[in-house]
Amino acid sequence: MRERVVAACDGASKGNPGPAGWAWVVSDGDERTPARWAAGPLGRATNNVAELTALERLLTAVDPDVPLEIRMDSQYAMKAVTTWLPGWKRNGWKTAAGKPVANQDLVVRIDELLGGRSVEFRYVPAHQVDGDPLNDFADRAASRAASVQESAGSALGSPEPPPSPGTPAAAGAPRRKAPRRTGAGASSSSSSSSSSSRTIKAKFPGRCLCGRSYAAGEKIAKNAQGWGHPECRTAEA
């Protein structure tokens, strides 16, 4: 059997649904540095569609004879293909509640691509200062593809994707310095205050870790794992 390859994939949707993109990255021998990667636009789509598409494109891009470790930050996409899929198939592609499985075409395609190959899925938390560098790269590439709606990748000679708005730098190779930006690509509403109490106006709509959405222009604050409602930051503290 060929040597295992470590990879990561991620999807992004600016609005959920909104402009969306997908990305995958395959590491080199040290399991931290990208050897090749690709990203692409999806037009208007949900985050779940983007996450599943990223996984489908990764499985398509890697030889099925190569054992894979896939790092993902999407609980939905991972559980869909590792936990829920067998039951959905037994139920004729219906959920336990008898409803049609969402994004069935993508799930069926991924099921076909997983057949007969060695794949280990590993969940990695998103947007961590000391997080997984491959997942961070995929996250940045997917976010860029969603924002500009253009394809990118090592095969196209594309530069490394820039940091995602509001996402702290992950562990890994140092990046080139860029002009200082406030999080989420927005202007600060209290630039003189400390970063722990600073709030900004969101440039794009998004979703807080509490599960509730926030709109473009709404005040958000830095939480332990990303950006969200200021009151959620207070609750965590």
Number of residues in the chain: 237
Active site residues: 10-11, 51, 73, 127, 139
Q: 75-104 burial, b if ≥16 CB within 10 A, otherwise e?
A: eebbebbeeebeebeeeeeeeeeeeebebe
CA distance 232 to 210: 7
CA distance 54 to 162: 19
CA distance 200 to 218: 8
With beta carbons less than 8 A apart as the criterion, state whether 67 and 1 touch. Answer: yes
